[in-house]
Structure 1
């Protein structure tokens, strides 16, 4: 797994449900997803990560603060469709109380290094909603540049996104 200066990554499991709810049911955290999830949607999200571990050997992981053992958020690698192409993406969602402390950048950089060095990926991306300036800044801090704009559809809503790599 991944370890950074302040963080340890591990696979999510059912015991993380309450921590995932704190993230995925927070309207502010979930602005880019058009709002908070229901309990059922959180469970499907968790099940998808467990399936991703089986299918790909990676997914979004629990990110834990080394010094306190606190669940900071979920950060990891997923396969995402960008128009007609499937790309390896770094995704990050943190509990609000851990925003603006450098954790997203630290964790995303750890994932980028893992993807390139351990998985041997030729390219790793971030797909970010055009209105999500904080996530765009994280991508830029880890050395990515915006390459194109495209549209995703989620919950019946047209959502412009940027592709970074």
Structure 2
């Protein structure tokens, strides 16, 4: 299975009798990534697959009618619904995502829609020595090994028992990653692909409002090597550029966790005092994401 084709019915993508330049340019640009764009000239989508001997699971469909989306019902085809102003009364509810135009759509946007369809984890951030990606159910054994490292659970909650953690992970992938596009990610060594940490962003209800929280764990054998600084700097830059809807980033640290407090101060977080959270006293740090 590999993302190789973008297919479409040209008449569905035409507005006022012609395809917009932004759509045409997109279909040309994706060729440099090895993606073939092929129009469905006649017949149904299923007939198109048979005629061209193309695997549905290698394909992303751009459609503007419910009829065309109905033609892929039950098939492993990623889909984008185009809200074409010339075509009224089209709900496009079966599409994986809806767009009103293609000015901001590029190869990476298409690739991520394809990955979501096939439950392929998104590669989120690269640093000098690491990369951060979404987790999957298959990552749980390595995650347990990470949490078994010396001192890891001194300042963070341990994982649940296996079945409960598995259920939590499934729900987290479905609800957090899919809805918000961010969350807690795995930190992997760029050379060995070894799991060396866990870090990312979470939405948290605090004092009656929702805030954006940064969390991080680095494996015991990788601590004091600058990995936490490297990873957290990258997450901050991601949070600045992502459309999260938040203007501040928060961290909660136990007062005796001197290493994390020093890291946050180095990253220009500001202490806002102490609160009680989950039965523990915590020092609250914040970072302004949007310059005033």
TM-score by length of 2: 0.51
1:115 and 2:236 matched? no
State the aligned residue count: 161
1:161 and 2:282 matched? yes
SS in 2 for 1:130: coil
Please point out which of 172, 175, 199 is paired with 1:75: 199
Q: Structure 2 vs 1, CA of residues 148 and 34 (structure 1 numbering), >3 Å: closer, same or farther?
A: same
**Could you tell me how far apart the structure 2 residues matched to 1:162 and 1:56 are?**
27
SS in 2 for 1:100: coil
**Could you tell me how far apart the structure 1 residues matched to 2:171 and 2:154 are?**
21
Asked if structure 1 preserves the Cα contact closer than 8 Å seen for 2:271 and 2:284, the reply is yes
Aligned to 1:2: 125
- What residue ranges of structure 1 are gaps of 5+ in the alignment? none
Superposition RMSD in Å: 2.1
Aligned to 2:219: 95
Q: Structure 2 vs 1, CA of residues 44 and 145 (structure 1 numbering), >3 Å: closer, same or farther?
A: farther
TM-score by length of 1: 0.85
Shift of 1:149: 0.9
**Could you tell me how far apart the structure 2 residues matched to 1:123 and 1:71 are?**
28
Runs of 4+ deviating beyond 4 Å = 34-37
CA displacement 1:49-103 (0-9 Å, x = unmatched): 4131123211111111112211111110001222222210110012211111111
- What residue ranges of structure 2 are gaps of 5+ in the alignment? 1-123, 287-292
Q: Structure 2 vs 1, CA of residues 34 and 79 (structure 1 numbering), >3 Å: closer, same or farther?
A: closer
Asked if structure 2 preserves the Cα contact closer than 8 Å seen for 1:72 and 1:94, the reply is yes
Aligned to 2:262: 137
1:14 and 2:137 matched? yes
**Could you tell me how far apart the structure 2 residues matched to 1:116 and 1:9 are?**
17
Please point out which of 138, 141, 146 is paired with 1:23: 146
Asked if structure 2 preserves the Cα contact closer than 8 Å seen for 1:49 and 1:60, the reply is no
Shift of 1:35: 5.4
Choose 1 or 2 for highest CA Rg: 2
Higher relative contact order (CA 8 A, sep 6+): 1
Q: Structure 2 vs 1, CA of residues 61 and 148 (structure 1 numbering), >3 Å: closer, same or farther?
A: same
**Could you tell me how far apart the structure 2 residues matched to 1:42 and 1:24 are?**
13
**Could you tell me how far apart the structure 2 residues matched to 1:70 and 1:87 are?**
31
**Could you tell me how far apart the structure 2 residues matched to 1:152 and 1:105 are?**
25
Asked if structure 2 preserves the Cα contact closer than 8 Å seen for 1:8 and 1:63, the reply is yes
Aligned to 1:149: 274
